[in-house]
């Protein structure tokens, strides 16, 4: 590649240090084969660049100007208009398909290739400093989960529980979240990606929770289920399977293990319940530096049955198992786990157990 073009806010931040919650805007960090990156930002955002990042080569364009034209002009001015351009493609980048087509029309002599896998391969391996940020985030996530558990009671609402977690994490120093707190109660806990909606907790309900505090844009998620009263046998088997699956992942994670083999070992823990529930099939996915709407930093890196990916020291995963019986309940358990040279380190810090109030 002659130049790498990163367009997602997370990758721009990773490369330059620039942060903004305006992820809907157009961002570009251009990394040439030699030399420092170049930032292209809207003029209004240039203050972010001057204060928040180490890049000195910052090019701006007016609010009314066309960002694709500004990009083509920058690349032409720097001599890349006939080069091989690696472009970060994917659903979270600020370069739309329409922008991509137009950029090709404005740079007819250039050749384009998808550089998203290259960026992921670098971001997936965390430095010691990055993992330390994730330890700090994990401590806050765990504290938020404990506050939520302590708040759950019949007569409280899912909003009450979410507020307790939110106040604990933000009050403890977390930045704004990549995902808002997830708290879903009773029958709604069986609906994937539902969350708090002023629902009162009743005796017999399962309370499904997921939180991820954030330090320097690094998130460390944790998931737990709380039962208000003894759960029915089938539901108990579901949560036991979730915990056993995560326990197996943590026991087996090490550098060199093939992701598909790891997934198959965790899958054995679900055998008794899998035919009666919804299960998405991803046992672990990479987490790290992120912005809304996701803390998943490398979409290509998932631990699933059939994956040939090999785990490496420095990778960090959200190891999660969530089982849902539609219209009845959902159960879950998860930890944020760093792969070490000899095995793994669990960054989050609550006991993995059935919680019955």
pLDDT digits (tens, 9 = 90+) for 50-89: 887 899 999 999 989 999 999 999 999 999 999 999 999 9
Residue 130 pLDDT level (bands cut at 50, 70, 90)? very high
Listed range (47-56, 123-132, 325-334) with the worst mean pLDDT: 47-56
- pLDDT, mean over the chain: 96
Asked whether residue 327 carries a pLDDT value surpassing 90, the answer given is no
91 & 179 share domain: no
pLDDT score of 50: 82
107 & 157 share domain: no
Structure tokens at 179: 């995902």
CA distance 134 to 159: 26
CA distance 150 to 165: 10
18 & 43 share domain: yes
188 & 252 share domain: yes
Q: In the block, which residue shows the tokens 């998943």?
A: 296
Residue 11 pLDDT level (bands cut at 50, 70, 90)? very high
Neighbours of 111 (CB within 10 A): 13
Q: Give the CATH number, domain containing residue 305.
A: 3.90.230.10
pLDDT score of 276: 87
83 & 141 share domain: no
Where among 123, 147, 168 does a domain terminate? 123
Residues linked to residue 29 through DSSP beta bridges, in sequence order: 6, 39
Structure tokens at 71: 């990009």
pTM for the predicted model, two decimal places: 0.95
Number of domains in the chain: 2
Among 68, 73, 134, residue whose Cα is nearest residue 98: 68
Report yes or no: 87 and 95 within 8 Å, Cβ to Cβ. yes
CA distance 277 to 270: 10
Residue 329 CB partners (closer than 8 Å, separation 6+) = 186, 187, 189, 190, 205, 206, 208, 231, 235, 238
pLDDT score of 203: 97
Residue 64 CB partners (closer than 8 Å, separation 6+) = none
- The CA-CA-CA angle for residues 194, 199, 200, to 5°, reads 140
pLDDT score of 162: 99
Phi, psi of 160 (to 5 degrees): -60, -45
Report yes or no: 289 and 134 within 8 Å, Cβ to Cβ. no
Q: Give the CATH number, domain containing residue 110.
A: 3.40.350.10
Backbone CA torsion sign across 200, 205, 207, 208: negative
Query: For the residues 121-138, what does the mean pLDDT come to?
Result: 98
Report yes or no: 209 and 224 within 8 Å, Cβ to Cβ. yes
| Percent of the residues in the chain that have a pLDDT greater than 90, as a whole number | 94
Listed range (43-47, 75-79, 96-100) with the worst mean pLDDT: 43-47
Where among 101, 123, 145 does a domain terminate? 123
Structure tokens at 170: 């933000």
Among 133, 118, 49, residue whose Cα is nearest residue 88: 118
pLDDT score of 102: 97
Q: Which SS3 state, helix, strand or coil, does residue 70 take?
A: helix
Listed range (43-47, 225-229, 291-295) with the worst mean pLDDT: 43-47
CA distance 144 to 220: 12
pLDDT score of 48: 86
Residue 350 CB partners (closer than 8 Å, separation 6+) = 142, 145, 146, 222, 224
Residue count of the chain: 357
Structural domain containing residue 306: 128-356
pLDDT score of 312: 98
Residue 49 pLDDT level (bands cut at 50, 70, 90)? confident
CA distance 278 to 286: 22
Residue 275 pLDDT level (bands cut at 50, 70, 90)? confident
Residue 217 pLDDT level (bands cut at 50, 70, 90)? very high
Residue 212 CB partners (closer than 8 Å, separation 6+) = 137, 141, 177, 178, 179, 219, 220, 221, 222, 287, 295
Query: For the residues 219-229, what does the mean pLDDT come to?
Result: 98
107 & 177 share domain: no
Where among 123, 141, 170 does a domain terminate? 123
| Count of helix runs (H) and strand runs (E) in the chain | 9, 16
Query: For the residues 140-164, what does the mean pLDDT come to?
Result: 99
Q: In the block, which residue shows the tokens 């979409």?
A: 299
Backbone CA torsion sign across 54, 60, 66, 71: negative
Structure tokens at 154: 């019949």
214 & 328 share domain: yes
Q: In the block, which residue shows the tokens 């404990």?
A: 146
Asked whether residue 197 carries a pLDDT value surpassing 90, the answer given is yes
152 & 266 share domain: yes
- The CA-CA-CA angle for residues 207, 215, 119, to 5°, reads 100
Q: In the block, which residue shows the tokens 């992701």?
A: 259
């Amino acid at each position: 590649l002659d130049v790498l073009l990163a367009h997602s806010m997370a990758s721009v931040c990773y490369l330059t240090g620039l942060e903004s919650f305006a992820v809907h805007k157009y961002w570009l960090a251009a990394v040439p084969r030699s030399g420092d990156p170049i930032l292209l930002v809207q003029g209004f955002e240039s203050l972010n660049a001057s204060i928040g990042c180490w890049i000195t080569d910052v090019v701006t364009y007016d609010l009314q100007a066309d960002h694709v034209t500004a990009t083509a002009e920058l690349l032409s001015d720097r001599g890349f208009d006939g080069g091989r351009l690696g472009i970060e493609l994917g659903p979270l980048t600020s370069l739309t398909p329409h922008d991509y087509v137009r950029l090709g029309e404005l740079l007819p002599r250039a050749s384009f290739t998808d550089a998203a896998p290259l960026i992921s391969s670098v971001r997936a391996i965390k430095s010691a400093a990055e993992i330390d940020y994730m330890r700090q985030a994990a401590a806050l996530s765990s504290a938020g989960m404990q506050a939520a558990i302590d708040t759950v009671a019949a007569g409280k609402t899912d909003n009450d529980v979410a507020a307790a977690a939110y106040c604990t994490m933000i009050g403890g120093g977390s930045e704004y979240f990549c995902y808002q707190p997830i708290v879903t109660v009773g029958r709604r806990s069986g609906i994937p990606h539902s969350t708090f909606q002023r629902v009162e907790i009743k005796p017999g309900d399962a309370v499904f929770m997921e939180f991820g505090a954030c330090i320097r844009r690094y998130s460390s998620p944790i998931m737990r289920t709380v039962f208000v009263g003894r759960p029915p046998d089938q539901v108990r088997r579901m949560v036991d399977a979730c915990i056993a699956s995560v326990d197996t992942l943590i026991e087996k994670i090490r550098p060199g293990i093939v992701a598909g083999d790891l997934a198959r070992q965790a899958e054995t823990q679900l055998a008794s319940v899998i035919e009666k529930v919804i299960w998405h099939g991803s046992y672990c996915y990479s987490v790290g530096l992120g912005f809304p709407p996701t803390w998943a930093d490398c979409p290509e890196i998932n631990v699933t049955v059939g994956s040939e990916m090999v785990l490496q020291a420095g990778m960090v995963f959200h190891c999660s198992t969530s089982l849902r019986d539609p219209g009845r309940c959902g159960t879950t358990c998860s930890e944020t786990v760093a792969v070490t040279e000899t095995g793994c380190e669990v960054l989050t810090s609550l006991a993995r157990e059935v919680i019955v109030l």
